[in-house]
A and B are shown apart, each in its own frame.
Chain A
Amino acid sequence: MKNAMGIIFTDRDEYRLSQLTQKRAAAALPIASRYRLIDFTLSNMVNAGIINVGVPTQSNYSSLMDHLGTGSEWDLARKNYGLFILPPFVSQGSMTGARGDIDVLYGILPYIRRSSQKYVLLADGNLIYNMNYCDIQRFHRDTNADITLLYNHIDPAGEPSRYTMLTVEEDGRVTDVEERPGHTGRTSAYMNVMLLEKSLLEALIEGCVARGEHDLVMDVLVKNTNNLRIFGFPYRGYVGRVDSVESYFQINMDLLDPDIRRELFNPNNPVYTKVKDNVPAKHGEWADVKNSLIADGCIVDGRVENSILFRGVQVRRGAVIRNSIVMQDSYIHEDCELDCAVIDKNVHIREDVRLVGQPSYPVIIPKGATV
C-alpha cells in the first residue's frame, strides 16, 4: 500500500466487554490462543506494506504497550517511521479525557502532520479478519473517492442495531450512514476502517474541533454524504467484531472451524504477535483433547473439548474443560469442571470447582483470581 500511514484505535467506551476490559484496552484483549485483537489489524497493515503506524491509547494501556513493545515483532522497529504508541497528551488547557475519536485524533494531530504519507488508513483494533488493504487503495483511486469505507454484508435478520449501517449504491457510492439504526433491513455494516487523504483528515479534524464535534461517524460521515464523495468497499471474507462478551466468546469458538482458521491464518499474510519463547505444548498421559486450539507452553493432562487454551495454561488430571476459553498461565487443578467459562490470565481454579455458564452469558473469572 503505497504512501499510506495507519492509525489504529484501541478502545471505545461503548464496548460491553465487562471485566475483560477492566484492566486492558479492548484491542489488547487476548484471542485465539496466542494473539491479542490488535495483532490482526496491525498485521494487515504491515502485510500491505504500511511502515508508519500510530496507536493512540486512552486508558489502561500498559498491557497494550507491553504487548507491542518496540514493534519489532511486526518489523516496525525502524529508523524511518515504524510503530508509534501515542498515550493521551494532557496539558494545561487541553481536555483531560477524549469524548470521541475526533478528540483522540486531535490529540495526535502533531504526529499526523509530521508524517509525510499522502493517505491515512484509520482502523479499529477490535475486529479480526485477514485482508489486503491494497485493494481499498486501488478502489479509492479508481472511484476518485474522498473517503472510502470498508464494510461487510451481515444477515439482516440478525442484530444490526450494534453497527453503523451504510446505504451503498451500485457504483459504490455511500448515500446514507446510520448509527445503530435498529431493524431497517440494511445489510452493509461499516467495519470501522476508512481511507482518505491526510490533508482531508487534518481539515476534518480541525473543522470538527472548531464546532465542538467529537465523533467521526456522527459528525463527519453522517453529515457529509452529500458534500463528500464517500464510497464503500465490500469485504467478503470472515469478519469477527469483538464488541461484547457474547461476541468475544462466539468469535473464539468460530476459530475451531477449519475454514475460518484457514482464512484468518493465510500463510501469505501471516498474523504476527509477541513471541514468548514458550516450550512446545505437552499432552500428557491422561490428556484427552477434542476440537480445541492449544498454544505452546500448555501442559494438558485432563479433558479439553471445544475450547481455546492460551500460552502456558496447565490442565491437571481429572479436570474437564468444555466450550471454554482459558487465558495465559492459568492453572486448572485436578477434577475441576468448566463449561462456557472465560478464565482470564493467571487464574487458579482449585480442585473440584465446578463453573458452568451459557454461550450467551459465559462465566467470567477476572485476571489473577483464585476460585
Chain B
Amino acid sequence: MKPKRCIAMILAGGQGSRLGLLTKTLAKPAVHFGGKYRIIDFPLSNCVHSGLDTVGVLTQYQPLELNTYIGNGKPWDLDRNNGGVFVLPPYVKKERGEWYKGTANAIFQNAGFIEQFDPEYVLILSGDHVYKMHYGNMIDFHEASGADATIGVIRVPLEEASRFGIMNTDETGRIIEFEEKPKAPKNDLASMGIYVFTWQKLKKYLLEDEQDEQSSNDFGKDIIPRMLAGGEKLMAHRFDGYWKDVGTIASLWEANMDLVSCLPKFNLYDREWRIFSRNPALPPHYVAATAHVQNVCITEGCVVRGTVERSVLFEGVEVEEGARVSDSILMPYTKVAKNAVVERSIVDASTVIGEASHIGSEQSNCGDFRSDYCTDGITLIGSNLFIGAGVSVARGSMVDRNLMV
C-alpha cells in the first residue's frame, strides 16, 4: 500500500463528565450541536477538507451511539478504498486486554493501526471542540519548520489562561516551556489539543512513556514535557478563528447561542468548508400562521406553532400553539406542548414538555433539582422524559426523571 503522508487520530473516548445528563448514555463527541450536527462532525469535516483521508476515532466511554453515527463514514466522504474512517475501541491483546489509560496510551495501543498506513506524520485531535481549521496548513508548517512536534495554539484572555495548557515560545514560535494550568501564566497562547507529530519520533516517546510507571500517559502532562526535556523541536502554530471547548453545560449553551445572532460569531455558511453530518430524511420545517419565530436556527422536520426566540431547534422538534421558547436549545424530537414556557434551557432528545409547564422559572413546584452542573442559570432536562402539565422547574436545575404535579 502506498504510504500516507499524514493520518489523523481523534481522541473520542472522553466522558465529558461536566456535561451532566447530556453524556449519560453517549460520549462527548456524539453530543448534539448547532441544530443538526454532533461535535465530532467538526474534526471529521475539517479532516476531509484538509485532504486527510484516513482517520482513526478512538472510543471508550459509551461508544454505541457514536459508532452508529460514524458508520462507514459516508456522510463525511470518508468511505474510501484506501483509508477512510475507523472506529478504534480498546481490544484484548495476547496476554491481557486493557482500557485506554490516557490519551497517549490510547495512541500507543493503536500504534499497529497507524503503522499499517506507514505515515510520515500523525495528527492528533480531540473530539471536544467546535471550530473550522485547515490542518493541511499546520502539517505544511510542521514539515517546513523541521519540527518533531507542532502544537495548535490560540490566544486566550490572560486572566483565563490558568485554565489551559500554556505554551511559552521564543520569537521563532519554538516552544521553550509548557505549563499545564499555570497559576501565574507568562503567556496567553493556549494549547488547543491539536498536535502534529513526526510519527517515528512520537513512537519513540510513546514507548518510553509506557515504561514509566509513574506516567499518567497523557499528551499534555507527559509526552510534551518529555519531548521538551529531550531537546526535541516543538513548534507552536497559531490559529485565529473561532474555537470553543464545549465541555460544560454553560459553554455548550453559549456556543449554540453564537450561531443564533444575525451575523453569527461562528459562521458555518462557507460553501467550500461545509460541516458534514448524517442527515435524517425529514421534510422541511413548517412555521404555522400562529407562530412567531425570530433569531432562531431551525432544521428539517420541525413544526412551530408557538413563539420561539433566540434558540436552536434540532430535527423533528415540535412547538405547539401558545408555547414560548426563548434562549434555549431543543434537541432532536423534543416537543413543547401548548402554553408551556421554556427559558434559557437545554431540553435533551425526545423529551416532552407538558402543557402550561414552565422550564427555567423562578421556583420549582415538584422538588428541588438544582445542580452544580447547571451554572449561569441554565436549566437542563434529560432525554426521553415527560414533564407533566403545569410543572415548574427552577432555573439551574438538572432533571433526570419524569415530573408530575
Contacts and interface: CB of A to CB of B under 8 A. Distances in A.
Interface stretch (A94-102, A214-222, A271-279): A271-279
Interface in A237-289: 256, 258, 261, 264-265, 270-273, 275, 277, 279-289
A34 interface: yes
9 contacts: A261-B283, A270-B281, A279-B35, A283-B296, A285-B295, A290-B288, A292-B286, A295-B284, A296-B284
B64 to A, nearest CB: 22
Interface stretch (B91-99, B101-109, B297-305): B297-305
A129 to B, nearest CB: 15
Contacts of B293: 283, 287, 289
Given A279-B268, A280-B36, A294 B287 contact: yes
Interface in A12-69: 32-34
Contact of B276 (A32, A277, A292, A309): A277
Given A287-B293, A289-B293, A290-B291, A281 B283 contact: no
A287 B310 CA distance: 12
A292 B299 CA distance: 14
Contact of B285 (A272, A273, A288, A294): A294
B17 interface: no
Interface string B239-282: 00000000000000000000000100000110000111101011
B274 A293 contact: no
A233 to B, nearest CB: 26
Nearest to A297: B269
B74 interface: yes
Identify the interface centre among A270, A294, A301, A309: most chain B CB within 10 Å of its CB: A294
Closest 8 CB pairs of A and B: A280-B35, A33-B284, A270-B281, A280-B299, A295-B284, A265-B283, A289-B287, A291-B289
B262 A301 contact: yes
A285 to B, nearest CB: 6
A271 B281 CA distance: 6
Given A289-B293, A293-B284, A294-B287, 4 more contacts: A279-B35, A291-B288, A292-B286, A294-B285
Contacts of A258: 286, 303
Contacts of B282: 265, 270
A285 B262 contact: yes
Contacts of B363: none
Contacts of B281: 270-273
Nearest to A272: B281
A280 B289 contact: no
B247 to A, nearest CB: 23
Identify the interface centre among B74, B279, B287, B300: most chain A CB within 10 Å of its CB: B287
A144 interface: no
Interface residues of A, number: 35
A33 B276 contact: no
B276 to A, nearest CB: 5
A358 interface: no
A72 interface: yes
Interface in A126-173: none
A32 B283 contact: yes
B296 A34 contact: no
Contacts of A281: 285, 297-299
A163 B296 CA distance: 44
Nearest to A286: B294
A287 B269 contact: no
Contact of B294 (A261, A285, A291): A285
A246 B303 CA distance: 27
A301 B274 CA distance: 22
Contacts of A291: 287-289
B294 A287 contact: yes
Given A277-B276, A294-B285, A283 B300 contact: no
Given A272-B281, A277-B279, A290-B289, A284 B295 contact: yes
Contacts of B283: 32-34, 261, 264-265, 271, 293
Contacts of B289: 290-291
Contacts of A256: 286
B34 interface: yes
Contacts of A277: 75, 274-277, 279
A67 to B, nearest CB: 15
Given A280-B34, A290-B287, A34 B300 contact: yes
Contacts of B279: 275, 277
Contacts of A279: 35, 268-269, 275
Interface string B65-83: 0000000001100000000
B159 to A, nearest CB: 32
Contacts of A285: 262, 294-295
A286 B296 CA distance: 11
Contact of A72 (B74, B269, B288, B292): B74
Interface string B342-358: 00000000000000000
B335 to A, nearest CB: 14
Given A280-B298, A289-B291, A290-B289, A34 B284 contact: yes
Nearest to A35: B283
Contacts of A282: 262, 296-298
A296 B312 CA distance: 13
Nearest to B34: A280
B286 A261 contact: yes
A282 to B, nearest CB: 6
Contacts of A296: 36, 284, 299-300
Contacts of A270: 281-282
Nearest to B290: A290
B275 A283 contact: no
Interface string B293-331: 111111110010000000011000000000000000000
